[in-house]
Structure 1
Amino acid sequence: MRAARTRTAGRRAAPRRPRKDVPPTPAGRIRRLRRRIALLFALVSALALVGMAAVAVHADDDAWRSQVDSDLKLRTSEFSADLHYDEQGALEYPDPKEGGYDCPPVTLFTGTAEKMTVAARPHRTCLTVPADAYQTAADDAAREGDVVRLTTTAPNGHRLRLSAQPFTGPNQDTTDTVAVAAVDISGNLADHDRLALLLTAACAVLVALSALAGHWLAGRAVRPALDALDQQEAFLADAAHDLRTPVASVRVLAETGLRGEADTTEILRRTLRQSTRMSELVDDLLTRARLMAGAVPLDREPLRLDQLVDAVVADTPADGHRVAVRAEPVIVLADAGLLRRAVANLLGNALAHGHGPGQPADVEVTVTADGTVAVDDAGPGIPSERAASLFERFHSGGGSSGLGLSIAAWVAHTHGGSLTVDPSTRGGTRFLLRVPVHKPARSSG
């Protein structure tokens, strides 16, 4: 039994280690920043909207209460005009049966500050006001010698507003008369509540809209950062992809030389060739990174396209290949450095891939008067299904990175032109680079 327990214990799962938080990626940090910006925007908008709504609700409450109190004061003031004292100091007031007390209802109290009693009340009142509320308002007004206002509830559940105004007696020293007027404020309260509810709903909708707007604006704000990050990651991917093969080749050559398995001169010659390829790849990578980042300003100037193509062909090593040039004079408005790089990339691509295995390339470069550079080769050609992605990196085939063609396409589009690929009449591929022709302004004379 003891051994069985030991085996059972040994089969128990080991306690799980607490999972460590994985640090966010740069893109994750940017997206988190976007969420924080959107949340902050929504929070500030919510605080502003809630503050304005609170001020509006408070202002509406003060406004309707002030209006009701002014109407009540006007009612009691008009009623006081009918109060008189006779020669013996006795108070004379209108008969309630005449209807002057009825609506809004006014109740007249007389007496002293210690005890006020009802002298006259409405004959056919339009409101039912609790007697204790009338009495409280009259007593407080007589005791304080000033207008007293209070709110109470009628038996039917309606809210009432009362205003008690004291009047001095014949000796002008004591308060012996108080008029208490009442009005139903249920409608005012209902309107106020509707306004508060409407503002609350409007605030909720506006906060939601501001959150969406903040999210959209934050997305627009961080988009350049995400684009720059994508360009950086693409550059690193390009560098790693393109430099892997020549670096591996140089390493193999170095190991072969150390073992003495090949002629040193041949190894150095091949190493020099691989290092030259690496240098060209690095130049292409840096050029593409600068182009994508917009760090290469266009220095447009009128230039002879035919002369530029002749210079590019003359500077390109033939290495046993044949390059023929047929050019018509034409002036284009372009950046000479970038256009030279685009033509050189097209020519280099034709020399590298525009021929069969073990055969020299036969390339023809044509410049026409409409600003078109055509590069024709007699190679195996390009399948039509690969033509659409040919100008993207890593899609040129033949062991090339495709950076040269993508750079040439970018240069053409930046100048307002185009770069297309078609089958060549020579049996291979034709690349057509088009740039706008320079049209000098005509003299008015």
Structure 2
Amino acid sequence: MRPPTPAGRIRRLRRRIALLFTLTSAAALIGMAALAVHADDTSWRGQVDADLTARVREAVAELRVGDDGALLYPDPKEGGYDCPAVTLLTGPPDRLTVAAQAHRPCAIAAPAAVMAVAQAAAAPGTARATSHDQGGHPVRLFAQSFLAPPDEDGLTGVVVAATDISAHQSAHNRLTLEITAACAALIGLSALSGRLLAGRAVRPALAALDQQEAFLADAAHDLRTPAASLRLLAETGLRGEAEPTEVLRRTLRLSTRMGELVEGLLTRARLMAGVVDLDLEPLRLDQLVDAVVTDTPAEGHRVRTRTEPVIVRADPALLRRAVANLLGNALAHGHALGEAADVEVTVSADGTVAVDDAGPGVPPERAHSLFERFHSGAGSSGLGLSIAAWVAHAHGGSLTVTASERGGARFLLRVPVHPRP
């Protein structure tokens, strides 16, 4: 099995972060949902039991002793319902019998359930139970025993109250279903959010990895040829097949070229990584361009300048590098093979530097990709124009290429003009 690539490890980390976020959110949501369901169940059951307890105590207070010594429980008002329904059982604990019960109860519990909870309360004490009526509806029961008057011995009886809890149970089940559905929806939303957040979290790492791979590819591509040439030149010198002076001259030229490539690679990598801080200051663009033209060796080529005074706000070192790269590109590729280059550099008052040459020009289909790496002319590293484009964009400007009236290419570097006070 092949080991995962760095990008694969980062994507695996993104999936793990998303999964961990989802599981954490799910655990929290499920815990809160369980607490809410339990709290609602405890609440309505507690309320029902409180109502049953109050009804039983009320029934005990309403008990009367008849002339024959028997306990009497007054009937509810005519036409009304006894709710919760009350049943009076009397006798010893092992021989309880129904002495009185409501004529119109709101809940009719099974006689066996009533007897069971009554016997459980004959401690004396209280007892609670849940049963079902004849229709299958859930019924809550509460029983409380009471003692005989002081002049009598033994247990007098038990009062049992019953109420239908189907409405409470249905409401609780509906709430449970709604909480479950909401919890599932929130878990799904948290999974999607976790994926998006994890993607955003690892995006800088993927971008940095892409930049690193691009830098390594640039370095391998650009340094391979001069390194091989330098090695071949060294082998030639060792064999004595060339004059030492010529070998040294060519070695100096190759080492200078490699130094420029390394500097260009580092500059481009720093620009892509965004670690270059712009040292913006007002400067004369026309004077900067004149200085670049003066410092650039023409080597038999012709360079003319036409400038207008203009002040821009830019980083002098980076802007100088961009203009030098455009001029160097025109001198290297803006002419036919074996002929001298004829380059014209124009600085306009709107902050535009135009570099025109009389070379073969740039095909329209290549204009959109010319400023990417490995898309310059033959024999070029592709870094000069790429760095110039990055410098222009970093200053809030642009770099474009069109056809020149002189037959070649026209590069337009635009930077914002410094506002006048």
TM-score by length of 1: 0.90
Residue 142 of structure 2 corresponds to which residue in structure 1?
A: 163
In the alignment, is residue 40 of structure 1 matched against residue 27 of structure 2? Answer: no
Equivalent of residue 325 in structure 1, options 305, 314, 318: 305
Equivalent of residue 132 in structure 1, options 112, 136, 140: 112
- The answer to whether the 8 A contact 2:80-2:104 is kept is no
Whole-angstrom distance in 1 between the partners of 2:190 and 2:264:
45
Change beyond 3 A, Cα 1:116–1:353? same
Equivalent of residue 251 in structure 2, options 271, 283, 293: 271
Secondary structure of 2:122's match? helix
1:125 offset after TM fit, Å?
4.0
- The answer to whether the 8 A contact 1:408-1:419 is kept is yes
In the alignment, is residue 146 of structure 1 matched against residue 125 of structure 2? Answer: yes
Change beyond 3 A, Cα 1:97–1:423? closer
Residue 235 of structure 1 corresponds to which residue in structure 2?
A: 215
**Partner AA of 2:135 in structure 1:** N
Secondary structure of 1:390's match? coil
Whole-angstrom distance in 2 between the partners of 1:305 and 1:377:
20
1:71 offset after TM fit, Å?
1.9
In the alignment, is residue 337 of structure 1 matched against residue 317 of structure 2? Answer: yes
* 1:234-253 correspondence runs (5 A): 234-253=214-233
- The answer to whether the 8 A contact 1:142-1:176 is kept is no
Residue 332 of structure 2 corresponds to which residue in structure 1?
A: 352
Residue 191 of structure 2 corresponds to which residue in structure 1?
A: 211
Whole-angstrom distance in 2 between the partners of 1:152 and 1:283:
87
In the alignment, is residue 400 of structure 1 matched against residue 380 of structure 2? Answer: yes
Change beyond 3 A, Cα 1:101–1:436? closer
Whole-angstrom distance in 2 between the partners of 1:96 and 1:400:
107
- Could you give the per-residue CA deviations for residues 165-184 of structure 1, whole angstroms, max 9, x where no partner exists? 22332219864121111112
- The answer to whether the 8 A contact 2:355-2:412 is kept is yes
**Partner AA of 2:234 in structure 1:** A
Whole-angstrom distance in 2 between the partners of 1:326 and 1:220:
48
Residue 310 of structure 1 corresponds to which residue in structure 2?
A: 290
1:102 offset after TM fit, Å?
4.6
Whole-angstrom distance in 2 between the partners of 1:294 and 1:272:
33
1:263 offset after TM fit, Å?
2.6
Which 4+ stretches in 1 moved above 6 angstroms?
A: none
1:124 offset after TM fit, Å?
4.2
Whole-angstrom distance in 2 between the partners of 1:155 and 1:347:
100
- The answer to whether the 8 A contact 2:143-2:161 is kept is yes
Whole-angstrom distance in 2 between the partners of 1:389 and 1:96:
95
Whole-angstrom distance in 2 between the partners of 1:100 and 1:166:
26
Equivalent of residue 254 in structure 1, options 205, 228, 234: 234
Residue 30 of structure 2 corresponds to which residue in structure 1?
A: 50
Change beyond 3 A, Cα 1:195–1:160? same
Whole-angstrom distance in 1 between the partners of 2:142 and 2:70:
24
Change beyond 3 A, Cα 1:251–1:97? closer
* 1:62-211 correspondence runs (5 A): 62-85=42-65, 90-95=70-75, 102-143=82-123, 145-171=124-150, 175-211=155-191
Whole-angstrom distance in 2 between the partners of 1:94 and 1:224:
82
- The answer to whether the 8 A contact 1:101-1:107 is kept is no
In the alignment, is residue 298 of structure 1 matched against residue 278 of structure 2? Answer: yes
Superposed CA RMSD in Å reads: 2.0
Whole-angstrom distance in 2 between the partners of 1:274 and 1:22:
40
Whole-angstrom distance in 2 between the partners of 1:169 and 1:100:
30
Whole-angstrom distance in 2 between the partners of 1:430 and 1:181:
99
Secondary structure of 1:167's match? strand
Whole-angstrom distance in 1 between the partners of 2:302 and 2:391:
26
Change beyond 3 A, Cα 1:386–1:77? same
**How many corresponding residue pairs?**
420
Any unmatched runs of 5+ in structure 2? none
1:219 offset after TM fit, Å?
0.5
Secondary structure of 1:81's match? helix
- Could you give the per-residue CA deviations for residues 307-326 of structure 1, whole angstroms, max 9, x where no partner exists? 11111111111111111122
- The answer to whether the 8 A contact 2:148-2:156 is kept is yes
- The answer to whether the 8 A contact 2:326-2:355 is kept is yes
- The answer to whether the 8 A contact 1:42-1:210 is kept is yes
- Deviating more after overlay: 232-241 vs 201-210: 201-210
1:280 offset after TM fit, Å?
0.7
Whole-angstrom distance in 2 between the partners of 1:225 and 1:233:
12
- The answer to whether the 8 A contact 1:96-1:121 is kept is no
Whole-angstrom distance in 2 between the partners of 1:86 and 1:343:
118
Secondary structure of 1:388's match? coil
- Could you give the per-residue CA deviations for residues 238-268 of structure 1, whole angstroms, max 9, x where no partner exists? 0001111111211222222233333332222
Residue 61 of structure 1 corresponds to which residue in structure 2?
A: 41
**Partner AA of 1:60 in structure 2:** D
